[in-house]
Structure 1
Amino acid sequence: MLMGEIPAGPLLSQIELPSDLRKLDKMQLQQVCNELRQFIIDSVSVNGGHFGASLGVVELSVALHYVMNTPYDQLVWDVGHQAYGHKILTGRRKVFHTNRKLNGISGFPKRDESEYDTFGVGHSSTSISAALGMAIASKLKGETDRQHIAVIGDGAMTAGLPFEAMNHAGVSNANILIILNDNNMSIDANVGALKEYLTDITTSHTYNKLRDDIWSLLGKLPYPEFQRDMASKLKESLKGAISKSSNLFEALGLRYFGPIDGHNVTKLVETLRDLRDIQGPKILHIKTVKGKGYKLAEEDQTLWHAPGIFDKITGKINKKVFDMPQAPKYQDVFGYSIIELAKANPKIMGITPAMPSGCSLKYMMEEMPDRALDVGIAEQHAVTLSAGLATQGMKVYCNIYSSFMQRAYDMVVHDVAIQNLPVIFCLDRAGLVGDDGGTHHGAYDLAYMRCIPNMIVSAPMNEQELRNLMYTAQLDETVNPFVIRYPRGQGVMPEWKTPFEKITIGQGRKIKDGKDLAILTIGHPGNFAVKACTELATEGIDAAHYDMRFVKPLDEAMLHEIGRKFSRVITVEDGTVVGGFGSAVLEFFNAHNYKPQVEILGIPDRIIEHGKPEEQHAECGFDTPAIVAASKLMMQTKAGLDVVHA
């Protein structure tokens, strides 16, 4: 249930904008942090949303808006799910209870929502590039006093884009401050060499203390040039003698400061004030705890990343209680099915870019750790790594959220499709995803995958179909790249663990025969059509229903049958109507000179905002009532009866 406005503490209730925060004495900031943290706990516990990430940057959020002259000084948050404190301090406290709700504020920074949100974000690793662009523009405009701050987590640093941006920033002389929020977590625990590197430079206390003293001299004292050179050489000597690793960030031309305690708001304020006066590219390394201030969230940071509604006193997370057995989530069907398949086929491997819990590859990682890999937030690497494995005969299930796969599109084309390598892409969160909104919808994969040569593109209507597609994709006779896309959330089959069966690639199935019109579906929305056909029958409309299963290759025999028999056709998909499944059907009808009246139902050509999935399905017009309405309207109009046979 959506609660109303959440009461704020005595100091926080006086803060409408950062200008109000700056009126407070520095000694009052800790109380502001305490009240802000409690406000986030109170809000998320009754309304849901991301949790641990924002608790971890409460002090940083307060310090940044206290020291920097926002919105003139430009603050860019990476990923965005840690920006709740920022939103609350920048004019949205009184409407924060609408966070992630239909027609409410976004759960992520959004430019058209507030001038304090300088860059829209939902995916990771974009902040440094964006802030650098802003800093270069300010330099060109002569705004030498303007600050540009990118807040990025160590998990987001595992992607390639931040390194590309830092490589440029180091030679740009732009006024940019990168704040590295180091908590060893993204959603799941961080992996890779960067994590070990940050641990190394964090624990080298002797080097850090001496290095800070030297940088203070370099940044603030008017040394003659030769003394400055000597100080720099001394710093490098200390680095080589004391630290196991040379400092990567300084090697890229960034002045490195830290690490400091990211939960000491006084120290943060003092440090940010010092850094504000130092021009050029620099990085501040802070150590924080994800979920700080809520014990359960500190102890299980993955669970409490976005726990849903919970009792803030007991920590009990509210879960729906059902009287009847419930269908599993599609992601769990994938997670358990890949283990079954891998036990029978030693060539099978699983790859995910930092989403082992979200995509349920975690089960295979626990049972078969050598055959299931989390590569960090690195979708491009995940795809090309999978391609490399495929060249050696491995059957790789590369599981990536549909919206995240967009970031690896060139690798799909260049490294997989052109070489016709049989990588199996399992695209989780396809379709409309709900509260995360426009940045996370899997709206485009049907369109952007079906245009690629050699690609097989499929979508299961239920859990049994998902299992069978997974089985078919790993057979030795399947030699093409293979996309299996499925939605977020539950399926429709409580008894889902059916025997594996081979599916003929490019073959659909007729769910129901009919004579008045044909409803063609792809994927999970086929279940909406099943209900629609039942409802239409009660009103005297006999609709046929075809589950096409494949967008590429299309079932041409089935489409010829439909083209010859029906003058009214409705296509239904949870993907964009531009270039998607419906477009593919129209292309086929046009190529073969069939001329039925066709209505395409799917995601319209606009960004769909956050809300519940069922609200979004209704808004886009492809849920059961929408299919019924479209069918009835089509029956009332004169159809194109002059069907020309192929």
Structure 2
Amino acid sequence: MTFELLSRIASPHNLRDFSEEQLRRLAAEIREALCSVCADRTAHFASNLGVVELCIALHSVFDFEKDRLIWDTGHQIYPHKLITGRFAEFDSIRRKGGLMGYPNPAESDFDLFMTGHAGSSVSTILGMKTADDLMRADGRKAVAVLGDGALPSGVVFEAFNNAAGLKKDLLVILNDNKMGICPRVGGLAETLDKARVAPFYNGLKRDVAWLLNKLPVVGESMEHALAQFKDAVKGFLHGGMLFEEMGFRYIGPVDGHDIKALRRYLELVKDVRGPVLLHVFTEKGHGFELVRTGLHECGERRDLLGDETRHSRLRAHSRHVRGQCTQQDSHGDSRSILRHGDLRKPRRRVRRRDGKERNAADRRHLQYVPSTRVRPHLPRGRASESARRVLLGSSRSRRSRWTDASRRIRQHIPALLSQHRADGYEWGTDGMFIAFGTLFGECVRAAAKLRSEGLDVGVINARFAKPLDTETILKAVEDCGFVITVEESTLCGGFGSAVLEAANDAGLHTDHIKRLGIPDRFIEHGERAELLADLGLNVEGFVAAAHAMSSIETKL
């Protein structure tokens, strides 16, 4: 397919020269571009297919060189990137050095903030609107697109409450695709699903309006009664009353794949005073049947986990304490995150192409939570067994880590987790790798290579970062010529720091200890193997670090 229209777009202003037929053709070209680029890699494919028409309508009605636009969740931004002049670079998306799969202000002035799965858009756009009003930036519109699982975030309702109180001119577009990563559930979902009978309500509203225009004015009592009637009908027929009770003017629902209808409604609400919520129905994966069934991505791995909210994790924990199996939660997936005393959002270390949206800082936060035990990933099967030990065998809480790399090192995971002991896989006299987590297998291979070169280097699998197996680890610190700690998490306050603290508390010298891990900065997106190589967290990097430490010890 030739991208005749898409290739002509240097900025969203070009859309104003397109006819309605050309806009529909543009939507088809954008879907074709998404299919040709994203179908061969893990990407947020389906959610982007669902917002094509909405994105076109937004950019054809508003001027986002002046107006404000925030997408939440941020991974539904691909059509926005195509329309804002990044078509020529689109093939690089989620590749190292290429476009990010989320909004990125470094790429374009049209991307105001980086947004991931935080549900922060309404709060952010409200803050920007407040600042614009203080600077008397009259006429600048503020729009937040909220969808693909972002609405259940508690911070969204805090922002709704604040926005209604401030009475700011704010447009929130609810992109309702009935999904997050998986089909939504719960009371809020049921409330929103009522809106799918709304065409009857909207038709009734038009008929009543026509009838009233034919009647003489009968005073405030009739006006008040009709307002009550409207609220009652709206509350019965769809979920708009939820938002109206919170102080938003509810409009919709609108077919999110009808560009003409979307533009008409956007023009209607563009100049409405006060906070407005426009309810838009879209279909995740619209226009591509394979993705409609696969939902999340077309690559090797397909996530079908439920959205992880603070409430759901706490609820899951309380269930498990009562003896229910981990695998019964999160739609049968054993990667449920268990936590007690830790309320931070989980992040999965250096992971695929997600860049800053998923990073490695969570372990250091957990280190300082009293009575918490921290260990790395577990493969499927071990996770359920471990969860029972965690929740039924101790009053303390523990934190497990699962990553995409876990399946590669299953053979190294010990069966008895309740002892909290490190595993001396190989013991060396010249040096020792102490690995925490996903890079244990690489350490084993690096040690084998070093032994073939005449350097006696061993490997310890530190199965817990907290409590630390000080007996095993401090023995290595005392006996070995050098010790290298390895972790796929941040060095600042990480596992290596815990080893240094333990050695210092024991009165041992630490000059021969080197820490390898992620530096104190955000890691950009790219293939996991590429990123780890850049950080020196692969076999070659470990071998080089061991040779460097061995040279220092020889000089000493």
TM-score between both structures, scaled by the size of structure 2:
0.89
Match of 2:213 in 1: none
User: Which residue number in structure 1 is paired with residue 313 of structure 2?
Assistant: 383
Closer/same/farther in 2, CA of residues 487 and 386 from structure 1, 3 Å limit: same
Q: Is the 8 Å Cα contact of residues 349 and 358 (structure 2) preserved in structure 1?
A: no
Correspondence for 2:461 among 547, 560, 572: 547
1:532 aligns with 2:438: no
Equivalent-residue separation in structure 1 for 2:465 and 2:23 (angstroms): 57
Secondary structure of the corresponding residue to residue 63 of structure 2: coil
1:167 shift after superposition: 1.2
1:604/1:125 CA distance change after superposition, 3 Å? same
Find out whether 1:288 has 2:203 as its counterpart: no
Residue 19 (structure 2) pairs with residue 28 (structure 1): no
Per-residue CA deviation, residues 105-144 of structure 1 (Å, 9 max, x unaligned), is 1011112221101121121412111111111111111112
The Cα of 1:256 is off from its aligned counterpart by: 0.7
1:58 aligns with 2:52: yes
The question of 1:432 aligning with 2:362 is answered no
Q: Work out whether residues 291 and 298 of structure 2, in 8 Å CA contact, stay in contact via their aligned partners in 1.
A: no
Deviations 1:44-82 (A, max 9, x none): 234552211111111111111111011211111001221
1:152 counterpart SS class: strand
Per-residue displacement from partner, 1:19-64 (whole Å, max 9, x unpaired)?
A: 2222323453222222222222222234552211111111111111
User: Displacement of 1:471 after TM fit?
Assistant: 5.3
Of 471, 479, 482, which aligns to 1:557?
Answer: 471
What does 1:121-136 align with in structure 2 at a 5 Å threshold?
121-136=115-130
Structure 2 counterpart of 1:539, one-letter code: E
Structure-2 residue corresponding to 1:12: 6
Give the counterpart letter for 1:480 in structure 2: R
Q: Tell me which residue corresponds to 1:600.
A: 515
Match of 1:307 among 291, 298, 307: 298
Give the letter for the 2:47 counterpart: A
Moved more, 613-622 or 241-250: 241-250
CA deviation after TM superposition for structure 1 residue 465, in Å = 6.5
Distance 1:58 1:174, change over 3 A: same
Deviations 1:416-467 (A, max 9, x none): xxxxxxxxx9x987321111111112x0222111111111111257778757
Contact 2:251 2:277 (8 Å CA) reproduced: yes
Which of 433, 438, 452 is the aligned partner of 2:369? 452
Counterpart contact for 1:486–1:523, Cα < 8 Å: no
Q: What secondary structure sits across from 2:460 in the alignment?
A: strand
* 2:252 alignment partner in structure 1: 258
Aligned to 2:540: 625
CA distance in 1, matches of 2:158, 2:336: 19
Residues 88 and 625 of structure 1, relative CA distance in 2, 3 Å threshold = same
The match for 1:485 among 395, 401, 414 is 401
CA distance in 1, matches of 2:457, 2:308: 45
Per-residue CA deviations over 1:306-342 (Å, capped at 9, x if unaligned) read 112xxxxxxxxxx6xxxxxxxxx9x9xxxxxxxxxxx
Structure 2 distance, partners of 1:571, 1:561, is 14
Instruction: Decide whether the 8 Å contact of 1:518 with 1:562 is kept in 2.
Output: yes
Change in 2 beyond 3 A, CA 1:558/1:84? same
8 A Cα contact 2:482 2:549, kept in partner: yes
- Which letter maps to 2:490? T
SS in structure 2 at match of 1:289: coil
Work out whether 1:237 is the aligned partner of 2:246.
no
User: In structure 2, how many angstroms separate the alpha carbons of the residues matched to 1:584 and 1:640?
Assistant: 27
Question: How far 1:566 sits from its partner (Å)?
Answer: 2.2
- Cα pair distance change 1:590/1:280, threshold 3 Å: same
Other-structure match for 1:591: 505
Identity %: 31
**AA matched with 1:285:** H
The aligned length equals 544
Distance 1:584 1:607 in 2: 21
How far residue 185 of structure 1 moved from its aligned partner, in angstroms, is 1.1
**Equivalent residue for 2:483, pick from 569, 573, 583:** 569
Are the structure 2 counterparts of residues 492 and 387 from structure 1 closer, same or farther at C-alpha, using a change threshold of 3 Å? closer
3-state SS, counterpart of residue 553 of structure 2: coil
**2:110 corresponding residue in structure 1:** 116
**1:567, distance to aligned residue in structure 2 (A):** 3.8
1:514-569 Cα distance to aligned partner (Å, 9 max, x none):
11111111112111100000111121111121111111100111123123212411
Larger RCO (CA under 8 A, 6+ residues apart): 2
Task: State TM-score, norm by structure 1.
Answer: 0.77
- Counterpart Cα distance in 2 of 1:215 and 1:522: 68
2:425 equivalent in structure 1 = 511
CA deviation after TM superposition for structure 1 residue 392, in Å: 4.9
**Which residue identity lines up with residue 21 of structure 1 in the other structure?**
L
Determine the C-alpha separation between the residues in 2 that align with 1:387 and 1:167.
29
Q: For the structure 1 residues 467 and 194, does the alpha-carbon distance in structure 2 shift closer, same or farther, using more than 3 Å as the test?
A: closer
Greater shift, 194-203 or 232-241, is seen at 232-241
**Counterpart of 2:515 in structure 1: which amino acid?**
I
Q: 2:18 corresponds to which letter in structure 1? A: L
Once the 2 structures are TM-superposed, how far is the Cα of residue 289 of structure 1 from its aligned partner? Answer: 1.2
**TM-aligned CA distance change 1:559 to 1:180, over 3 Å:** same
- Are 1:164 and 2:158 an aligned pair? yes
Q: Is the 8 A contact 1:472 1:502 kept in 2?
A: no
* Aligned CA-pair RMSD: 3.2
